[in-house]
Structures are given as C-alpha cells and as structure tokens.
Structure 1
Amino acid sequence: MARTPQDDPKTQALRQTGTLNLRPQDVHDELFEEREFFDSRDLVQVKYEMLRRVSKEGHSISQAAVSFGFSRPSFYQAQTAFGTSGLAGLVPQKRGPKQGHKLTPEILESVREAQAEAAEVRPAALTQMVQERFGVTVHPRTIERALLRDQKKRR
C-alpha cells in the first residue's frame, strides 16, 4: 500500500518543526521538478534555493519569486532574514507575544496580594482591579494562566 503524503515521515518531521511548505505545488523551478534531492515541501530549502538563484545565478527577483511560489515582498523578507541570521533566519518564527506582556511584575504582585487576601476572588474581579489601579485591560484568562505559572514554579 502506497504512503499518503500525510503519513510520510519527512512530511511529519517538516510539519513538526514548522518548516513544511504549505504550497509545494507552486514551486516550478527546474531543480525541484527534475531532481529528487530538491524537495518542494521543505520551506527552508525552497527559500534558500530562491535566494541562491538570484545571488549566484543572476536570476531576477521577480522571476525567482514566481518560480519558487513566493511574492517579491516575501523574497525580500527571506533575503533580510538570511542576511541577518543565516539558514536559521529562513525557519519560520512563531508570531506574536510569547507571554502575557501586559502583566508586569508590579501588576502580578498586586494580583497575588489581592488573591492572598481573598482566595476565592474570581479572575474577572482581579481584571477589574488591574484596570482600576493600573489602567491596563487584561482578559481574565490571562490572569488565570499567570497564577497557574506561579503555582507551577513554587512546586
């Protein structure tokens, strides 16, 4: 029985690392179509080859972007990332804040104190208190997660 792309080990590994090209069918470069080594599912390899075609083989940016399934702005982003960080710069990064950036240590301390005074105080009430004292709007779930992180650290 033939393997489907979903249960191919390489596809799984690429998906797990966040480097799976979601549009491999848009890659029309001859190397990717003719040689087995070149895998259009590997986003890092596709971006690197696109950059190499322009810098080493003199292809135009527009031509390279189209044949590798990218836009010109995406080419420039990849070029900047590669120039700054090398191959690691071509690996997609998770977007957005990594933690509750609104909850400063001062706000967290105030939340902890309020919870210590009345253990049954609800996150919605804590949210209101943060808004009134600090002028910062946070979601009740943000406070719940921060307090859970604190509990885990204390174990």
Structure 2
Amino acid sequence: QRCYQAADAKADAEIAKLKDKYQTKATSLQGQLQAAQDRAEVLEAERKGKRNDELLSTAGSILGSIFGGKRSRTSVLGKLGSAAGKRGRSDAAKERVEAQENKIQHIHHQLEQLEAELTDDVTSIDAKWMGVAKEISPMTVPLERTDVKVTQLALVWIPVP
C-alpha cells in the first residue's frame, strides 16, 4: 500500500514538472493565437474597405466617363485601367486575410499537438511508476546476531499475591 502511495507521489511530482514545461509553451501559443486573430480582424476590415473603395471608385469612374462630358474611348479605358489596379489591391488584401487565417489554423494545430504530447507524457509517467510499484514484493529479513545490541541489563522482580 505504501509503495503505491510513494509511486503516486513520485508520478505527481514528475507531472507537476511537465505541467510547468507545457504551461509555458501553451501560454506562448495562446498569445500567438490571440495576436493572429487580432491581425486577421484588422486585415479583414482593411479588405472590406478596399473592396468597397474599389466598387465605388469603379462604378463612379465608369459612369462618370460614360455619362459625363468626356466620351472618348481613351477616357473610358483609362478609368477601366484604374479600376483594374484597385481590383489588384483588393485581391492582395484578400490573400493577406487568407494567409492570416492559415496561420491561425496552424497555431490551433500546434496547440492540439501540444495537448496530445502532454497526454502521452502523463500516461507514460503514470505507467512507469505503477510498474515500479507493482515490481515491489515482500521479503523477510532474518535477524542476525550482530543486529541485536543489549543496551541495558536489568532484573525485575514482581511479587505474586
């Protein structure tokens, strides 16, 4: 019984060390995840702004060139070229958002791996110490003459009634 308690205590001590080690890694990954999510929100807002700017600018430019005073072909083509440039910027913003979302998924995957590693380590520590506790068997230790020491010699007399 005491052997199992001692093994449990040793296993708990090793698991506490692991907890500290993995807690540091988990805290770091959670900080990275929060920063990545914040960055993704900023990039998404930027993407929406560029998309709206592209739509409004394109519609305004084309409608203005068609219905406005300038009706030349070069004017309309110039406005279309400007719209294409804005389209490229909004596409680039979309790609940045997608890249950030991939980064978030990667961090989630790292957190899952860390959790799996911790579970495996805890299981192996528990199995190791339970194995040690099970290997212990009772053993008789006979007394030897050198193990006994007489430290006080006394004669006791008890009267019997």
- TM-score in same-fold range (> 0.5): no
**Structure 1 length normalisation: TM-score?**
0.26
**Structure 2 length normalisation: TM-score?**
0.25
- Structure with the larger RCO, 1 or 2 (CA within 8 Å, 6+ apart): 2
Larger relative helix fraction: 2
The structure that has the greater radius of gyration is 2
